[in-house]
Structure 1
Amino acid sequence: MKRWLPSPLVSGILLLLWLLLQQSMDPATLLLGTILAIGVPLLTRPFFHPIGFPRVAKPILLLRLLSMAGMEIVRSCINVSRIILFARPAGLNSQFIRIPLDLKNPYGLALLSCLINMTPGTVWVEILPEKYELVLHVFDLHDEQWWIDTIKAHYEKPLIDIFK
Structure 2
Amino acid sequence: MKRWLPAPLVSISLMAVWLLLHPGFGIGHGLLAILLGLLLPLLLRGLRPRQVRVRHPLTIARLTLRVLGDSLQSNIAVLRYVLFPGRRPHPAAFVRIPLQLRDPNALAVLAMIVCITPGTVWAELSLDRSVLMLHVLEVADAHAVAHHVQTCYERPLMEIFES
SS of corresponding position for 2:74: helix
Distance 1:144 1:43, change over 3 A: same
* Counterpart-to-counterpart distance in 2, 1:162 and 1:19: 38
SS of corresponding position for 1:96: strand
Partner residue in 2 for 1:137? 135
Aligned partner letter, 1:156: E
Is 1:110 equivalent to 2:108 in the alignment? yes
Unmatched 5+ residue regions in structure 1?
A: none
SS of corresponding position for 1:99: strand
SS of corresponding position for 2:44: helix
* Counterpart-to-counterpart distance in 2, 1:163 and 1:86: 41
Q: For the Cα contact (< 8 Å) 2:90–2:140, is it kept in 1?
A: no
Q: How many residues align?
A: 162
Is 1:48 equivalent to 2:48 in the alignment? yes
Partner residue in 1 for 2:9? 9
Root-mean-square deviation over aligned CA pairs: 2.7
**TM-score normalised by structure 2 residue count:** 0.81
- Higher deviation after alignment, 154-163 or 71-80: 71-80
* Counterpart-to-counterpart distance in 2, 1:92 and 1:56: 39
Aligned partner letter, 2:4: W
SS of corresponding position for 1:88: helix
Partner residue in 2 for 1:80? 78
SS of corresponding position for 1:98: strand
- Higher deviation after alignment, 90-99 or 119-128: 90-99
Aligned partner letter, 2:84: F
* Counterpart-to-counterpart distance in 2, 1:100 and 1:70: 24
Distance 1:90 1:72, change over 3 A: closer
Distance 1:91 1:74, change over 3 A: closer
Aligned partner letter, 1:57: R
Is 1:36 equivalent to 2:26 in the alignment? no
* Counterpart-to-counterpart distance in 2, 1:113 and 1:155: 10
* Counterpart-to-counterpart distance in 2, 1:163 and 1:34: 34
Question: What are the equivalent positions in structure 2 for 1:119-138 lying under 5 Å apart?
Answer: 119-129=117-127, 132-138=130-136
Unmatched 5+ residue regions in structure 2?
A: none
Per-residue deviation, residues 62-91 of structure 1 (Å, max 9, x unmatched): 233123212322221121121122022885
